[in-house]
Amino acid sequence: MQENIGKMGLYMVNGSAGNEGVPGAPILNFTLLVNAVTGDVTGHATQVQAVEAPENEIKIGDITGKVQATGFGDYTKVVALKGTGIVTLPPPAIGSYAVPFTAHFAINDKWEGRGGWSLGAEKVEDVPVHPEQ
How do residues 76-110 score in pLDDT, each as one tens digit?
A: 999 999 999 999 888 899 999 999 999 999 999 99
What span, in angstroms and rounded, lies between the C-alpha atoms of 27 and 56?
11
What span, in angstroms and rounded, lies between the C-alpha atoms of 60 and 29?
10
Q: Which of 36, 16, 44, 2 is nearest to 105 (CA)?
A: 16
51 and 35 in contact (C-beta within 8 Å)?
Answer: no
pLDDT tier at 68 (50, 70, 90 boundaries)?
A: very high
pLDDT tier at 133 (50, 70, 90 boundaries)?
A: confident
SS3 117: strand
Q: Which of 12, 6, 7, 13 is nearest to 131 (CA)?
A: 13
Does residue 121 carry a pLDDT above 80?
yes
What span, in angstroms and rounded, lies between the C-alpha atoms of 30 and 127?
14
Model pTM score: 0.89
Determine whether domain 2-131 maps to CATH 2.40.160. Answer: yes
Chain segment 11-64, per-residue pLDDT in tens: 999 999 999 888 889 999 999 999 999 999 999 999 998 666 556 799 999 999
Does residue 3 carry a pLDDT above 80?
no
What span, in angstroms and rounded, lies between the C-alpha atoms of 51 and 24?
6
Measured distance between the N- and C-terminal CA atoms of the chain, rounded to whole angstroms? 6
